[in-house]
Amino acid sequence: MARTAEITRKTSETAIELALDLDGTGRTEIATGIGFFDHMLTAFGRHAMLDLAVRAEGDLHIDAHHTIEDTGIVLGQAIRQALGDKSGITRFGFAATPMDEALCEAAIDLSGRGFLVFDMTFERPMLGDMDTQLVEEFFRALTVNGGFALHLTRRAGSNAHHVAEAAFKAAARALRVAAEPDPRAQGAVPSTKGVL
């Protein structure tokens, strides 16, 4: 059964079209109008091994906040939809991703309950045209709308670009592990409750 989703969301602030295949090859087509964010979403798709197409138009004359947050909302909704009832998935995922001097860890539980623990700081306020505060806003929107818990921790790093990229890659790799089918589960939902 295909684990895919296509979502369109339009508000007075943004218009977003997103297509996702959880069982892809890491192919991405990203256009949000925010260069650094495009770079992060490209890395996310590649390292989660999901095919991801995102086209976003937002009120960038104000700032990037609405576009980045709303993209997180839509990506979270797409992940949740593509996972279906979560039968046979691994459920938990962990990754530690270094990038030069930076090291970030991500732990995910595809529990059906959205929650973010964000233990990260950045050495400068901007990464190209993206405010570093928006990294947390993106992941909060992603987890709340995706219905999963994510603990994202910076273990080391002095270069803000490296720290952000390591965080996106760690989250992607943890998601990849958690969403993978578990051959020993024999299609069962990975919960003693029988529902996630």
CB 76 within 8 A of CB 9: no
Output the CA torsion 138→39→23→142 (10° steps): 0
Cα separation, 22 vs 194, in Å, equals 22
Percent of the chain whose predicted confidence (pLDDT) is above 90: 98
pTM of the model: 0.98
- Give mean pLDDT, residues 24-39: 98
Q: What is the pLDDT of residue 1?
A: 81
Q: How far apart are the first and last CA of the chain?
A: 19
Q: 36: which residues sit within 8 A by CB, 6+ positions away? A: 127, 128, 129, 130, 164
Cα separation, 177 vs 146, in Å, equals 16
- pLDDT tens for 97-122 read 999 999 999 999 999 999 999 999 99
Does pLDDT of 62 surpass 90? Answer: yes
Report which DSSP code applies to 109.
E
H-type alpha helices, the chain: 35-48, 65-83, 133-146, 160-179
pLDDT band at 152 (very low <50, low <70, confident <90, very high): very high
Indicate the class that CATH gives domain 4-185: alpha beta
**Ranges of each domain in the chain:** 4-185
Mean residue pLDDT across the chain? 97
